[in-house]
Amino acid sequence: MTQGLPFPAANDIDETWNFIKYGVDKILIQDINQGIEPSLYMNVYTAIHNFCVQPNSSHTNAGTVSRGAALIGADIYNHLAEYLTAHLTETLNNSTIYNDENLVDYYIRKWDRYVIGSRYLNNIFSYLNRHWVKREREEGHRHIHDINTLCLIRWKEDLFNPIHSRLIGAVLDLINKQRDGETVPTQHIRAVVQSCVALGLDENNTKKTNLTVYRSFFEAQFIESTAAYYSKESSEFLQTMGVVEYLKKASDRLREESGRITMYLRPESEEILRSTCVQVLVSSHSEEIQEQFFPLLKGDRESDLKLMFYLLESVPGGLIPLQKNLFSYVKEQGLAAVDALVAGSKEAPASSIDTQAYIDTLQRIHSKYTNLVQAAFNSHSDMQKSLDDACRYYINNNSVTNKPAKGRAIKTPDLLARYCDTLLRKSSKNADGASNDAYLDGAMTIFQYVDEKDAFEKAYSRTLARRLVHGTSLSQDAETNMITKLKGICGSDYTNKLQRMFQDMSVSTEMHDQFKEYLDNADVKPVGDFTPYVLAESFWPLPPFNSQFNLPPELTVIKDKFTSYYNGKHTGRKLQWLWNFSKGELKANISKSSKVGFTLMVSMVQMAILLPFNDALEYTIEQLKDITLLDDDFLKGSLTILLKARILFMSGGNGSSSGSGKPSSADGDAMDVDEAGSASKKKTSGATIDEALVAAPGTKYRLNTDFKSKKMRINLNLPLKNDQKKEAEDTQKSLVDDRRMFLDACIVRIMKARQELSHVHLIQETIDQSSKRFVPSVTDIKKCIESLIEREYLQRVDEKTYRYLA
């Protein structure tokens, strides 16, 4: 023990070093678990101190007296360094018998011991550290370090450098073994990694963690070995197990590797490790993986798709083929579903496709793949976009909408409007408000994909107008709700007209009450109940009544009253009576066989035709024409319905010039069916009316005094055929006009703001601005630009640029 030894002569370096060496030996080599006795610690410290502060005159190295103080420290420092080198060389030599795991084990043991030792050494030599080392470093001697650092440097140079390839190789083997599923001492790996980190020294600040050693001696090799391991594994696995299994394997591996980071690696390595793994596991096989996307999609293999997405998401550009495939697949699915629907309803031409089934089909495909994108692709924006594009495609262009060969093609917006109409109309089916709302929400989902939103607005306002005027709307709430939905998607501009329609309705109801009062005050007794609706022409898509019409005298009074009442209230407004939208109920005591009269729900035109039969039982067509002043089309259409319903009978007059050889057949057939007594269904009863003969000159019409029906209320107010056709044409035309105006306004607005703009930009901005309503074709836009040039709103600056002319 130290106590036994005398203090060394302060001026004798060898003596002093021997004295110190004893303590160093103890610190570095012997078991240190109990710590070092304070006395030893004190003695060594004192010896160093004594040596360093001794007057320098009799120093062995007499020639360097002047710089004595510097050298005194240097002697001890050098001795210590040499000592460490010798100690570590020995440790190194002893390591040769170890290999692999044992080597790792050995290294760790030695390292741990050495680290503790160095800490003590640093303390014992702290006097040196504080004075000599500090001064040396201040003088710029960068190769001099504090003792702890010196220890680490010696370790790195004398032990780590010669041993590292074997050591790191062994560690990497351990990691690979773990990858193979064996249990390995992960704490050893962790320790080696930490020692690498500790060996990284920052020249300027030893306290700072420096990863240079970790990076260059460990991380690089680790990444390399990882890449090698997985490139081998993945190729083999893919060959033997196929892509689908591989998806699972690869994603497991990715998770495993990121676990490795927390287990024993530096977090700084996470990124490079991950990118390496992704590169090896996914990128290099991305084509094989991507090829499997289509089959998986077809098989609805959601979880596998999810894995695939997870893997490819981290590969730059890895999702692009998936997006393309998703687009084309969903598109095909949508088209195929519509095709199947069309094929399934063979008996009906495409134009009379079942609206509900159609919308349901569109929705089914959409929701199926929306769910998929959510569940498997985490609603990734690019995937969602592909889905949206695909939906937009099949919703706007499919075998229902593209059928110009047979008559008029029906567009999705029209069908959608019809669908909404059935949902919002009063009927027994629509009793349940909640589910109805869900259906409407579904319809709105489809609506979002509709390109021609303006066409929907047109069609919708048409059906809405009918619902409101005819009082067939399900409920005010349902309608308002629907408008709110539309507003949510397209903004209030879009629903403005629709909302005005509701306003008109409520104003009309108010007015109705006031008018009643007015009548009471005027002491006029109304004939029946009179409900007028005053509707602003510009908001209501109702076609005008374009025929002369002589109102039945029974009703003229009330009409005139109302007109004068209205004009009294509002000056400068013009009332237009839409007889084609008026309806009434007639009590008809026409049948001898029935004690109770029937109630006939008829259009105004029909009423005008029927009322004269109060006075006589038979009229010729000419007489009816004189009475009503109606155009042939209206007369004929309305008569046909009355004949079919068998309220009236027709008999060919002597003037019948139709030349058809069987003028009486209609009559005869009708009689037959009548006797058969199945008069309740209009369709069967009147199917044989020869329409060419209706309203032929000279034809006579007789009231059916034997009228029978099982129903007490009979609805005769059916839409006229030519009305419907014409309306569709009108709608189309007004749609085209509206679009042109919209585009004109749009272009002018853009140009006014920009003054000068290139063709390409103008086209692009115009498309952007109108996309909420419809998708204009470039040709349409060009035509508008041209007409604006002609009208001198714009001028060409050169071939590619326009200028706005104020």
Partner 1 sequence: LNKHDYNLDRTLRLEWDRIPKRREAVMLENIFNNYRDPEGGDIIGIDGTVQFITDLGLELSDSVVLAIAMTLNAEAEGEFSKLGFIFGWLSLSATSISEMKVAVEHMKEQMQNNPAYFKNVYRFTYTYILPPNTRSLPTESAIAYWELLLTGRFQKLTEWNEFILNVYKKSISKDTWNMILEFANYIPNDPDLENYDLEASWPSVIDEFVEYLKENKK
Residues forming contacts to partner 1 in the complex (CB under 8 A) are 759-760, 763, 778-779, 782-783, 786, 789-790, 796, 799-800, 802
State in angstroms the smallest separation of the CB of 792 from partner 1: 10
Q: Cα dihedral sign for 637, 639, 642, 644? A: negative
State in angstroms the smallest separation of the CB of 782 from partner 1: 5
State in angstroms the smallest separation of the CB of 796 from partner 1: 7
Q: Are strands 700-703 and 618-620 parallel, antiparallel or unpaired?
A: antiparallel
State in angstroms the smallest separation of the CB of 450 from partner 1: 24
Closer residue to partner 1 (CB): 749 or 796? 796
Q: In what order do the strands lie in the sheet with 648-651?
A: 618-620, 700-703, 648-651
Closer residue to partner 1 (CB): 733 or 783? 783
Is 618:700 a contact under the CB 8 Å cutoff?
yes
CB atoms within 10 A of CB 782: 13
Closer residue to partner 1 (CB): 227 or 763? 763
Closer residue to partner 1 (CB): 239 or 779? 779
Token look-up 């949510």 returns 488
What CA–CA distance (Å, rounded) separates 51 from 728? 113
For the chain, how big is the Rg over CA atoms in Å?
A: 49
State in angstroms the smallest separation of the CB of 797 from partner 1: 11
CA distances from 754 to 650, 751, 787, 805 (A): 69, 5, 19, 11
Closer residue to partner 1 (CB): 513 or 799? 799
Closer residue to partner 1 (CB): 614 or 795? 795
State in angstroms the smallest separation of the CB of 791 from partner 1: 9
What element of type H or E holds 327? helix 320-344
The residue ranges of DSSP E strands in 661-708, in sequence order, are 700-703
Closest-CA residue to 278 (of 267, 268, 289): 289
State in angstroms the smallest separation of the CB of 763 from partner 1: 7
CB atoms within 10 A of CB 488: 11
Beta bridge partners of residue 757, listed in sequence order: 802
How many residues in total does the chain contain? 806
Closer residue to partner 1 (CB): 385 or 759? 759
Backbone φ/ψ region at 220: left (φ over 0), alpha (ψ -120 to 50), beta: alpha
Closer residue to partner 1 (CB): 673 or 763? 763
State in angstroms the smallest separation of the CB of 750 from partner 1: 15
What CA–CA distance (Å, rounded) separates 212 from 76? 30
State in angstroms the smallest separation of the CB of 774 from partner 1: 18
Closer residue to partner 1 (CB): 203 or 790? 790
Closest-CA residue to 47 (of 77, 83, 20, 24): 20
Q: Are strands 713-715 and 700-703 parallel, antiparallel or unpaired?
A: unpaired
Closer residue to partner 1 (CB): 256 or 786? 786
Token look-up 């390995």 returns 184
What torsion, rounded to 10 degrees, do the Cα atoms 670, 676, 679, 681 define? -100
Residue 610 token pair? 């029927």
What CA–CA distance (Å, rounded) separates 218 from 223? 9
Task: State the alpha helices, DSSP H only, in 523-582.
Answer: 553-569
Closer residue to partner 1 (CB): 578 or 789? 789
End-to-end CA distance of the chain: 107
State in angstroms the smallest separation of the CB of 727 from partner 1: 30
State in angstroms the smallest separation of the CB of 211 from partner 1: 56
CB atoms within 10 A of CB 472: 14
What CA–CA distance (Å, rounded) separates 391 from 399? 14
State in angstroms the smallest separation of the CB of 405 from partner 1: 20
Closer residue to partner 1 (CB): 713 or 782? 782
